[in-house]
Copies of this chain bind each other. A is one copy, B any other.
Amino acid sequence: MRMVEERSGAAGSGTRARTRRAIIDAAIGLLAGDPTASLGDVAAAAGVGRTTVHRYFPERSGLLTAIGTDILEKVEAATDRARLDDGPAAKALERLCQEYFELGDGLTLMFETPQLATWSGWDEETAADQHFLRTVRRGHTDGSIDSELDEEWVRNLVWSLLYSAWAHTRTAGASKHSAMTLCLHTLRKAIAP
């Protein structure tokens, strides 16, 4: 018998936690390429049986929610690492850009997820989101960000550039580094006053 475990996010016994991660990671990688992939495909990609997937996520929506939560956590962690409150706001956004870029497939998924499921956490104001918007406003004040660009537009812009950068590595076959360079170069000029 096991105690309460299986609460909110993480799993309990080592084996279960590992299997759960394997499924979620495989699902993120697979759904980023094809949001309509079946649970059977996810199971195959994770290297487990379809039955096992259903054991961890009785309903498809449960898996989707778990993915959403997982990505959200990664976003929060990346935001923390970017130390948004240090130095000029414009520089902070560049650091954030680099951190977010490392999210990889999770990034792609965030663009396509609205179609996957009506995931409740997106439009809600997350801590990371608020911190971002606050930083843009700080940039308006400290003069490092063009004050003609309101916060929401800058947020959209950053996400778009990140998406473009990833697309650039795929379509133009560019290296991650050169894509990031272009991305930052463009961001810097776009938000400069």
Contacts and interface: CB of A to CB of B under 8 A. Distances in A.
Contacts of A189: 146, 189-190, 192
Interface in A132-175: 146, 148-150, 152-153, 156-157, 159-161, 163-164, 167-168, 171-172
Given A157-B164, A160-B164, A171 B152 contact: yes
Contact of A149 (B35, B146, B157, B182): B182
A186 interface: yes
Total identical chains: 2
A36 interface: yes
A172 B4 CA distance: 42
Contacts of A171: 123, 152, 156
A48 to B, nearest CB: 25
A83 interface: no
A112 interface: yes
Interface of A: 34-36, 111-112, 115, 123, 146, 148-150, 152-153, 156-157, 159-161, 163-164, 167-168, 171-172, 182, 185-186, 189-190, 192
Given A112-B115, A160-B160, A160-B163, 12 more contacts: A112-B112, A148-B185, A150-B172, A152-B168, A152-B171, A153-B182, A156-B164, A156-B168, A156-B171, A157-B164, A160-B161, A189-B189
